[in-house]
Structure 1
Amino acid sequence: MGGDGGTIISRRNCMRFNNKKKGKEISRDMERTHKWLHCALSQERLKKPIVGCRLGRLYNKDRLLEFLLDKSSRGTLKNMAHIRGLKDVKTVSLNENSESTGEPLKSECSTVPQVFPFCCPIMGMEMNGVYKFAFLWNCGCVMAEKAIRQLQISMCPNCDASFTSEDVVIVHAEGEDLQLMQSRLEDKLAQEASKKEKKRAASKMDPFSKESSDGQSVGVDKKKSKTSVKNGPLNTVEMKQSNSFKSLFHTNDSRQKLDPNRGFWSETTHSYFFKGT
């Protein structure tokens, strides 16, 4: 071996090469497993209730609430700038894997679990990062993206809720999928900003009146009617129908004993008058 003038390859060099390659594969699997099993904010193990954002990241809801309530930490994380409140996330429904024991089973060479805790409710695929998963924004059901693509229906195959292509959010999107999720998020933010500008412009033009569905201003009329009831005389219709109120005065037929100092009720004007002492 090596007598022809070539190099001599020892077993030690082959072992080193294999070890490097194996180590990269293990680290890549560990990174993928950690991302799909842990909260994207706190890096803790995912536990229900779980929410997802428009970019497909999964969070523990309690940790996300703590982050939103802590105003000092809002501007520190750039990857959380798109989440301003609970309206920017959706509670997802994850189907538990019946074969999972709850804790990852560690092998001899890595910490990758053999059975993952969640799976697709339609096709039974494990939610381990190998297969592409997605959730629907309108209902929150999580399933394999392959099931949504192959069925080609406008109703959720898990809960029968209607949805559109804009409602499909890829879980932990990467590459082109991440660019698509970001473009949808930007379009949504632009629509919200335009709506706010229209409302501000309408309030500056006429801040006191509100237009109804027929285009007639009803805000001022309602305000006038309320003030007229408060500042005007007592409601004579209610007085006319209330016998208990009439019984307070000596002109009522139900009272036999007359008090000269008590006021009297007028049936013509539907009002009462008090006598002086």
Structure 2
Amino acid sequence: MGNDGGSIPKRRELLRLNESESQANRSKLSVKLNSWYYCSLSEEPLRYCEGKVVSDYRGRLYNKESVLKHLISKGNTPAHLKSLKDLVELRFCFKGDKILCPINKDIILDLNGENDIPAFVYLVPCGCVVSGKIAKEITKLKSKPLLCPVCNQPFEHTNVIPINPSDTTDLESRMARLRQEGLSHNLSRRHKKSRSYEGSGEPDFPKKRVMKAEKGCEADVPKPSKVIAKQIQ
């Protein structure tokens, strides 16, 4: 050995390297846990006990009250949060200080940081939170529509939102498609901008509707269609 210009690392150096790697891993875990602990807007602790934790299309967590305050006061709210339609209220399953998957109860997130962080997702529009493994198995089913395993509400495979993901590329693409369809993150219809009023402040109605009103006719009101939800036993 020797004469090759190389060197053999000593035990001390290997221990330092392992220690630095473990510290980096702990730091990453701490950052991930913070995203489960604190509101992404107000940085206050998330109020899981009140059942008012909401999420945007990027899977970030907020206290619903904090978002409401910012919307009302027109404070420094993120541009993509314009109304409550841009949020989904989440439905967690708890056991003490642990968040667990209501289907596979072995998959647990300990909010005290005593274990690794498993992948949790929620479904739109119901907001039920399950493990990523369970959601993946359900989306592989050939049955249509797909049904939430918790509340039995139908959902599309594109509306499975990972919580606190490291990559939001797919989520950005999903939101772009929804905007083109005139939908919000929670799949409700976005309001169109109201027409500007002219003259005396009266709304600018279409001429046909004005003529009907002058003749004393009632405006045509479309009747709601009956929707029969398919349920899979």
Same fold by TM (over 0.5)? yes
1:51 is paired with a residue whose SS is: strand
CA distance in 2, matches of 1:39, 1:65: 13
Structure (1 or 2) with the larger CA radius of gyration: 1
Unaligned runs of 5+ in 1: 75-79, 103-116, 201-206, 211-216, 227-277
Q: Which of 90, 99, 102 is the matching residue for 1:118? A: 99
The structure, 1 or 2, with the larger RCO (C-alpha pairs under 8 Å, 6+ apart) is 2
- 1:135 is the counterpart of 2:122: yes
Residues 132 and 144, structure 1, Cα contact 8 Å, conserved in 2: yes
The residue type paired with residue 72 of structure 2 is L
Residues 49 and 61, structure 1, Cα contact 8 Å, conserved in 2: yes
Aligned position for 1:38: 38
Q: Which of 157, 166, 169 is the matching residue for 1:174? A: 166
Residues 70 and 76, structure 2, Cα contact 8 Å, conserved in 1: yes
Runs (4+) of structure 1 moved beyond 3 Å?
5-12, 127-130, 195-200, 217-220
CA distance in 1, matches of 2:127, 2:18: 43
Report deviation, 1:223: 4.7
2:182 is paired with a residue whose SS is: helix
Q: Which of 209, 213, 216 is the matching residue for 1:222? A: 213
Report deviation, 1:59: 0.7
Aligned position for 2:81: 83
- Normalising by structure 2, report the TM-score: 0.68
Unaligned runs of 5+ in 2: 111-115, 184-189, 196-203, 218-233
- 1:70 is the counterpart of 2:73: yes
Corresponding residue pairs, total? 191
- 1:165 is the counterpart of 2:162: no
Aligned position for 2:90: 92
Aligned position for 2:199: none
CA distance in 1, matches of 2:216, 2:125: 41
Aligned position for 1:208: 205
Aligned position for 1:21: 21
Q: Percent identity?
A: 28
The residue type paired with residue 82 of structure 1 is H
More helix by share: 1
- 1:147 is the counterpart of 2:134: yes
Residues 35 and 61, structure 2, Cα contact 8 Å, conserved in 1: no
Range 136-145 or range 6-15, more displaced: 6-15
The residue type paired with residue 192 of structure 1 is G
- Normalising by structure 1, report the TM-score: 0.58
Residues 52 and 63, structure 2, Cα contact 8 Å, conserved in 1: yes
The residue type paired with residue 163 of structure 1 is F
